Amino acid sequence: MPMKTLITSLLLSAAILSPASHAAVDPYGYKLPPSMQKKKKVVPPKKKGPPPVDYVGEFVNFGDWKEVREFLDDVAARDGFDRAELNTLMAQVRFVDAAVQLVKPAPPGKPKNWQAYSRLTVEPVRIDGGVKFWNENVDALNRAEALYGVPAEILVGIIGVETVYGRNTGRFRVVDALATLAFSYPEAPQRRDRMAFFRGELESTLLFARQSGIDPLSLKGSFAGAIGMPQFMPSSLMKYAVDFDGDGKIDLLGSSGDAIGSVAAFLVAHGWQREQGGPLVYAAAVSPSREWEPMIKQGLVATYRTAELSAAGVTTTVPVPEQQSYGLVDLQNGAEPTEYWLANANFFAITQYNRSYFYAMSVVELGRAVRLARGGM
């Protein structure tokens, strides 16, 4: 065997037998330097996310359900609908289990955290989108502010928190979601009341569709049946929505003007007071005596004068208008200290849109952030 062939054979044997034989080698068995080694691509394990949402649902023949038939009889008699047409409609309605799952309350145990909540709602995408929305709809916002007395920043804040200015208006067929929740609401202490509520919303949907001359199955919205940029439930749409752009129809999905005017009209109908100018909330401090604690549980209303609050150990760092009434709001922060605020009647009007201190405060904060981003003071 030639000497060169023998050396090559020995080198190959050594490479195969040596502990380093799993390292990269060239055709002659030499270990390649690190710079020439082909690095193995590390693929991180896939994270398991939530299952995709089933927006379409399944056919279950709602028309066979006794409660559905009774509901349709009542609606036909009360509202003058053709019963056969209602049967045809219900034959196309689908059961959406995703709506049932999404309407269930979050499991207990996790403490409320305002700071975490606000990071999800008062964030760059909504602030930047709010500036664009305000600039594009400045005339409608100014007109709504003049007519209803609701500042533009509050209107922008609500539409931004609800749907990011129309980006996320919902992908469920409204009739499917409402029928599912009206007749198959999950087990809960107020199940019967909730089912009655959604039956009323289903009836309102049918009335709105007939009034507007549209197919009720064409309406899309949230898993709970809320519609359009401001996410109005169908009964609120019937009561408070306005044709603010003057085109002869109400369109909360495609018309920013209608959305703006309708939100303002809703707030006025639920207690917004034009004369209460200035801030809606004032940062507060509470005394260790906790004499103020019963004030937290007085409901979503402004009932206390500043003298009563002061006597109970509630103070503010800045003067507040003494002619107004206030409620004491607590914003819990998990393990961190709770924030306390004095809120006037207009703050509580926002809670009628969504019955949550967190929601109302996020509207206030987002609107303020958008105003400042536009260069407002």
Q: In the chain, where are the structural domains located?
A: 62-105+169-269
| 275 included as an active-site residue | no
pLDDT of residue 43: 56
- The answer to whether 342 touches 326, Cβ cutoff 8 Å, is yes
pLDDT computed for residue 46 by the predictor: 61
Which residues of the chain are modeled with pLDDT < 70?
1-50, 377
Burial class (CB in 10 A: 0-12, 13-18, 19+), 144: buried
Residue corresponding to tokens 């509207």: 363
How far CA 158 is from CA of 67, 218, 229, 268, 281, in Å, comes to 36, 25, 9, 14, 16
pLDDT at 17: 37
Calpha distance 216→174 (Å, rounded): 8
Give the number of other CB atoms < 10 A from CB of residue 72.
Answer: 20
* Structure token digits, residue 338: 């709770």
pLDDT in tens, 269-294: 999 999 888 899 999 999 999 999 99
Distance CA 300, CA 356 (A): 9
Give me the catalytic one of 153, 162, 201, 203: 162
Give the pLDDT score at 51: 76
Question: In what helix (H) or strand (E) does residue 286 lie, and over which residues does it extend?
Answer: strand 281-286
The pLDDT value recorded for residue 106 is 78
Rounded-to-10 torsion of CA 7, 12, 15, 21: 160
Domain 62-105+169-269: which CATH class? mainly alpha
* Predicted pLDDT of residue 319: 92
Please report the pLDDT score of residue 11 as a whole number. 38
